[in-house]
Amino acid sequence: MSPIDGLIIYIIHPLLNLLWFVVLAGVILSWLISFNVVNTSNQFVALVWRMTSAITEPLLAPIRRVLPPLGGMDFSPIVLLLLIGFVQGYVLVELARIF
């Protein structure tokens, strides 16, 4: 196994999986907050919301600049999830095949 294979298999791919779940958790939490199912005055909810926002906002902001909200809906998390899937399914596989 080459060092690139090890990097992809043991570091990059699991980090992208974790990022995928963080984006999904942020989307679900934003829905729960907007429909008043959970309250951000709860310290745990506020902590999770700040963590997911801190991780995902730097990645979502460039997408939001290109893709504005359409009809009040923010599609940037969907685009980010598709990009993560593309990187995992195609780019990392091609990198492993090259090296």
Domain ranges within the chain, ordered by starting residue: 3-98
Query: Which residue reads 């906002």 in tokens?
Result: 57
* Mean pLDDT score across all residues of the chain: 92
Beta carbons within 8 Å of 66's beta carbon, 6+ residues apart: none
Prediction pTM value: 0.88
DSSP 25-62: HHHHHHHHHHTTSS-TTSHHHHHHHHHHHHHHHHHHHH
pLDDT for the residue numbered 82: 97
- Is 80 exceeded by the pLDDT of residue 5? no
For the chain, what's the residue count? Answer: 99
pLDDT for the residue numbered 40: 93
Q: Across residues 43-53, what is the average pLDDT?
A: 97
User: How far is residue 62's CA from residue 76's CA, in Å, rounded to a whole number?
Assistant: 9
Between residues 84 and 93, which one has the greater pLDDT? Answer: 84
